[in-house]
Amino acid sequence: MRAHTKKDDLTSAIKILLGILFFFLSAPLSKADFTSFTGAETAPNIAEIDIDGDKLRINLEISAADAGVFWPKAPPTENIYELAKSITERQDLAFKLYTNKNEIRPNQFSIRIGERKPRKSPFAGKIDPRTGIRMPDLPADKIILLTIVEYPIKGVSHLKILPPLDNDGAAAVTIGFTSRHGKTPISGFHYLSQPESLNIDWKDPWNTRFENQGINRKNRYPLKSFLYVEPRQIRHEILLRPRDLLLWTKQSFNAWQPLTTERRNYIRRIALDYLKNKNPTTIDNETSLPISTETVFLRANNVGYTQIAEDESIEIGSLLIGYREKFHVKELPQSINIDWKIFTDTINSVPTLIQDPAGPFPTHVVPDFPDIQWHNYLYDYRAPSSDAVPIENPSAVMPIAVLFAFCVSVLLILTLRTRKVEAKNKHPILFYGIVLICAGAIYYALPGELRVPLPGTINKKELREITETLLIRLAAAYEEPQTETLKIQLTNLVNGDNFESTTANLSQIYQPLTTSGSLGSLKSINNLKIEHVDQLYINGSTAFSITSKWQAIVEDQSWGHMEQKPREIRAKIEIIQSDNYWKVSAFTSLSVR
């Protein structure tokens, strides 16, 4: 047997590091429920495929440079208007639709000149960290051919979609596409690089899918659990389909029923009755009951989940129910245990995500191991401070050691020069020894430095630091979920005069509404710049009116998705000296970008 060497240890270490690196590089792929990493939304040609009722509609955005591939019989021309006219007369589109071996001919066709639909891509023109290859940028040509094609597909359960093909059977041009059945996404943005087969479930759009699993949407699990561990609250969120909830409660389900106000209230009531305390929660070995519950309706999109507006029209087969329980804690607990009890004959594994200040931890529960468990391993974690900001007056600082040595030296000199002391003390060594021992004891009882207040004013740098500290501590205060406790925390940072109006203006910045319908929070406040300062005197107290701007991140973690959006905030802030503390006495938002 070969002896174990240091080289083997090095090889093993490299393998471990490569494994860790692969995990982190591939971690974004675990978020594919929400974000497309293909970059297909930057393709020069886009196809939006919608199944609506008994017809399939394709909205095509076609680059003029590729029009000859989509209409091979059209006469070549550089004039896009002449091109559109010749295509309208011919209508021989190379984009085909088949069922079995029979071509389905379109019954509606229109074409016009127009602009591209504005799209955002987080990776456009950037280097893919997984491959090191620069991703395509958004197309430079904004004027394109907008084509709408409709196909009759009533009763068709299997379709084959053929883009324009080359001699090798691959797409002849670059086409990005997205698809949905009703309001249910079938796929996010992917490249239509070859013929694709689609199976349609007319009873339930959730089950409509491509045979190519690589392009189907990833959030197909009908049931999910998310545990969020935060310094002041614990949130347990459950995502489920109305179909499952109604079947569990012996109710009928029709995927195409619209979500009316009456049906919305009905489903909310059933969800609350079924899910409240369904999964017992233990915090620090004590059974805990939620301080609040909430039921919302969501629909999936390319970046996560969007809360459905009260007046939005959607069929119940295309929506998801979001059920949320909140538990109040004063600080991070040591342990949390949720006894998961929702399993059926068809659902025997439930994906779960545990999120704490250290990051996400995906796992799953099964009937044999039904507990969702979290333990506090954050030994050095400290929650952000929302304490009041004390006023620090300018002062001269003198080390106490220097001052004390000077005083002792003066005392010894004066003692030696005093003959009366020399005459009275027959044992000078004993006398000076006692003096030094007492002086040493007094020295160790004194503080390390002596501060002498000095007259002066606050400079711009100090004012910036005070303002930034107030803004950061306000962000920490707004992490408090309890309204009354939040109000108490804000009294440490907001002046009593005009308290209600000031906190109302602050809440618009510190509690922004996110795409999921939840209230976000403000993180990473930095790069504060003061544009203008006016010194004021309000009721005898020194105050400053400051026009400033700063950068921050709007963050929301809910329903398994983290939303982070950079913001530049410009505001007029009034701070005042109140009871030996700095406080915000007025706040007016000027712009948020």
Q: What is the pLDDT of residues 228-277, one digit of tens each?
A: 999 999 999 999 999 999 999 999 999 999 999 999 999 999 999 999 98
Looking at residue 531, its pLDDT comes to: 94
CB neighbour burial string for 435-468, b if at least 16 within 10 angstroms, e if fewer: eeeeeeeeeeeeeeeeeeeeeeebeeeebbebbb
Q: Are 56 and 157 in contact (CB under 8 A)?
A: no
Q: What is the pLDDT of residues 486-540, one digit of tens each?
A: 999 999 999 988 899 999 999 999 999 887 778 889 999 999 999 999 999 888 8
For 191, half-sphere exposure in the C-beta direction (CA atoms, 13 angstrom radius) is: 15
Tell me which of 127 and 256 has the higher pLDDT: 256
Looking at residue 580, its pLDDT comes to: 86
Q: Give this prediction's pTM.
A: 0.78
For residues 209, 211, 215, 221, the Cα torsion angle rounded to the nearest 10 degrees is: 50
Least confident of 7-11, 191-195, 323-327, 587-591: 7-11
For residues 412-419, average pLDDT: 63
Q: pLDDT tier at 31 (50, 70, 90 boundaries)?
A: very low
Angle at 506 between CA 504 and CA 511, to 5 degrees: 95
CB neighbour burial string for 154-174, b if at least 16 within 10 angstroms, e if fewer: eebeebbbbbbeeeeeebbbb
Q: Would you say residue 25 has pLDDT above 50?
A: no
Q: Would you say residue 193 has pLDDT above 80?
A: yes
Q: Would you say residue 50 has pLDDT above 80?
A: yes
* Percent of the chain residues topping a pLDDT of 70: 83
Q: Would you say residue 423 has pLDDT above 50?
A: yes
For residues 267-289, average pLDDT: 95
Looking at residue 3, its pLDDT comes to: 44
Secondary structure (3-state) at 253:
coil
Q: Would you say residue 128 has pLDDT above 50?
A: yes
* Dihedral sign, Cα of residue 261, residue 262, residue 268, residue 269: positive
Looking at residue 285, its pLDDT comes to: 95
CA distance 382 to 331: 10
Looking at residue 418, its pLDDT comes to: 60
Please, what is the average pLDDT of the chain? 85
CA distance 428 to 185: 97
Q: Are 34 and 303 in contact (CB under 8 A)?
A: yes
Q: What is the pLDDT of residues 441-485, one digit of tens each?
A: 666 666 666 555 545 567 888 899 999 999 999 999 999 888 888
Which residue ranges make up each domain of the chain?
A: 29-215, 223-375, 395-453, 458-592
Tokens of 378: 């954050």
- Cβ-based neighbours of 309, under 8 Å, separated by 6 or more: none
Looking at residue 414, its pLDDT comes to: 66
CATH number of 458-592: 3.10.450.240
CA distance 462 to 531: 15
* Dihedral sign, Cα of residue 23, residue 24, residue 26, residue 32: positive
Looking at residue 12, its pLDDT comes to: 44
Q: pLDDT tier at 403 (50, 70, 90 boundaries)?
A: low
DSSP β-ladder status, 45-52 and 175-181: parallel
- Cβ-based neighbours of 489, under 8 Å, separated by 6 or more: 386, 477, 480
For residues 51-77, average pLDDT: 91
Q: Would you say residue 439 has pLDDT above 70?
A: no
Q: Would you say residue 20 has pLDDT above 50?
A: no
Residue 236: CB atoms within 10 A of its CB come to 21
